[in-house]
Amino acid sequence: MRRILVDLARARHNLKCGGGAQQVSLDGVLVASPERGTDMLTLDEALGRLEALNPRQSRVVELRYFGGLTDEEVGEVIKISPRTVRSDWRLARVWLYRELSKGDDDS
């Protein structure tokens, strides 16, 4: 799911002629504007950095955010307890928030 959304965001980002935003629904995840696509690219880059630091936390984010899985389902997929999933999810969200906020400070 992550790859689909990132590829869609890249395609929109690379369009030179606007042509109006098109709404595409992917299992409840909406990518409705070029700005949202840019956000998806920024998130993908941040997830790549997180993966280099902590692959398990990155995987938890992918499964929860892009896959829509519950803590229990994520735990089953990557063979950890739901409590560890919650902990990784919480830490990854804080880390991603900090990383994504850096871009706001730079502008």
Query: Under CATH, which number does the domain 2-106 receive?
Result: 1.10.10.10
Helices 34-53 and 82-106 cross at an angle (nearest 10°) of 120
Residue 1: predicted pLDDT: 72
Q: Tens digit of pLDDT for each residue in 9-64?
A: 776 666 544 544 444 444 444 444 455 566 888 889 999 999 999 999 999 999 99
Cα radius of gyration (the chain): 15
- How much is the pTM? 0.66
Is residue 12 helix, strand or coil?
Answer: helix
**What token pair was written down for 81?**
């307890």
User: Measuring CA to CA, which residue among 7, 8, 103, 90 is closest to residue 46?
Assistant: 103
Q: What is the largest CA-CA distance in the chain?
A: 48
Looking at residue 104, its pLDDT comes to 62
